Amino acid sequence: MPIPQAELHLHIEGTLEPELAFALAARNGLVLPYADADELRAAYRFEDLQSFLDLYYELMAVLLTQDDFADLADAYFERAASQGVRHAEIFFDPQAHLARGVSMETVVGGLWRALETSEERYGVSAQLIMCFLRDESPESAMATLEAARPHLGKIVGIGLDSAEVGNPPGRFAQVYAAAAKLGLRRVAHAGEEGPPEYITSALDDLGAERIDHGLRCLEDPTLVARLVRDQVPLTLCPLSNVRLRAVQSLEQHPLRRMLEAGLMCTVNSDDPAYFGGYIDDNLEQSRSALDLSDDQVRELARNSFRASFLEHDEEMRARYLAQVEAYVFTSVSGRP
Ligand code: ADE
Ligand code: ZN
């Protein structure tokens, strides 16, 4: 039985498994340029973030209706539940859909249909975080925030994703300030491929409350000291980092060093359909590759709930944290 966790770094479009992509394509009368799911899966070899993003955006073509978005989220919840996820804060990329003529209403309405009852059906509570594409303009981000206004009751926060290098956070200071005024929580990808300065800028210029990835903070000891002091959550995604070659192998992933340095780390799955594993796969493979102790694994799970945006429901956070404390490590999970 996997340890209970909150998933804080998960792109819903990145949960599109090849089989579902083919099913949705058939339902929508589209033909994918791959013979079958196996051939598509074989294309999941990436050199870097951009080579992944190219395929990630291409496959979104199959997501057209509310049913498509609801089915995508349901498929995720089913897998998440089996991986110990109790709470999920789910990213979505509206600009990638609006650009294809799919409305905000379709995207948010479809996802919400699944989220609304995910706790009853799968035992996974969930919230939505709307991401801006940093390789699009700040004006486009602001227009997206405007388009989301009628749906803000369904969205807990904003994020920043897509191609990082050359697209520093500071460009989006205005839209983050506007979102903060609307009461939205703020996170941002930074330090995945981009330099440590992007992490500092995400904190200072965007008011980011969590940093997604944050891996490259290790190059700047002053920044590390700040992140430790302020216990800024870093939502790490070890399998993603290996697949996108941010690190050479899981054995060389800095997760353990980061924990030992006192950083507030969590383990997440990013785009699990593309990177070979969901949240517990990330945790178990990291545990084994880095020889993490049971205490470190429990700390990661605890951190995930502490860093979650469950402010309006402290009772729920306490209940989840109690589940983490009560978890008993067994040999079934691979431990001696
Ligand atoms: N969009 C989806 N996955 C992403 C990642 N790992 N980094 C940046 N943008 C993304
Ligand atoms: Zn991500």
What's the half-sphere exposure (Cβ side, CA atoms, 13 Å) at 212?
26
Q: What is the pLDDT of residue 311?
A: 78
Q: Whose CA is nearest to atom 1 of ligand 1?
A: 162
Q: Identify the pLDDT of residue 332.
A: 53
Predicted pLDDT at 37: 97
Asked whether 235 lines ligand 1 (CB < 6 A), one says: no
pLDDT digits (tens, 9 = 90+) for 146-201: 999 999 999 999 999 999 999 999 999 999 999 999 999 999 999 999 999 999 99
- Amino acid in the structure at residue 92: F
Residue 65 banded pLDDT, cuts 50, 70, 90: very high
Give the whole-angstrom CA distance, residue 105 versus residue 50.
Answer: 28
Cα 161–166–170 angle (5° rounding)?
Answer: 70
Whole-number pLDDT of residue 133: 98
Cα–Cα distance for residue pair 279/277, rounded to 1 Å: 7
Helices (H) and strands (E) in the chain, counts: 17, 8
Helix (H), strand (E) at residue 235: strand 233-236
Q: Which residue has the tokens 């067994």?
A: 330
* Residue 271 alpha carbon to ligand 2 centre in Å: 7
Confidence at residue 130, expressed as pLDDT on a 0 to 100 scale: 99
Residue 333 has pLDDT above 60, yes or no: no
- The pLDDT tens digits for 3-59 are 999 999 999 999 999 999 999 999 999 999 999 999 999 999 999 999 999 999 999
Q: Are 12 and 72 in contact (CB under 8 A)?
A: yes
Answer yes or no: is the C-beta of 214 below 6 A from any ligand 1 atom.
Answer: no
Predicted pLDDT of residue 96:
98
For a pLDDT cut of 90, what percent of the chain falls above it? Answer: 97
Task: Give the confidence band of 336 by pLDDT, cuts at 50, 70, 90.
Answer: very low
Query: Does the pLDDT of residue 104 top 90, yes or no?
Result: yes
Residue with tokens 């969901």, as numbered in its chain: 278
Predicted local distance difference test score (pLDDT) of residue 187: 99
Give 10's strand partners. 90, 270
240 lines ligand 1 (CB under 6 A): yes
pLDDT of 261-295, one tens digit each? 999 999 999 999 999 999 999 999 999 999 999 99
CA atoms lying within 13 Å on the CB side of residue 324: 24
Look at 48-52, 82-86, 155-159, 329-333 and tell me which has the smallest mean pLDDT. Answer: 329-333
The yes-or-no verdict on residue 335 having pLDDT over 70 is no
- Which candidate, 234, 216, 212, places its Cα nearest to that of 159? 212
CA distance 36 to 34: 6
Which phi-psi region, left, alpha or beta, contains residue 278 (left: φ > 0; alpha: ψ -120 to 50)?
beta
Q: How many CB atoms within 10 Å of residue 33?
A: 8
Q: Exactly one of 13, 192, 193, 299 is catalytic; which is it? A: 192
In 163-294, the DSSP E strands lie at 185-190, 210-213, 233-236, 264-267
Give the Cα separation of 24 and 72 in Å (integer): 9
- Residue 165 and residue 191 in contact, taking contact as beta carbons nearer than 8 Å: no
pTM for this predicted structure? 0.97
Distance CA 35, CA 155 (A): 37
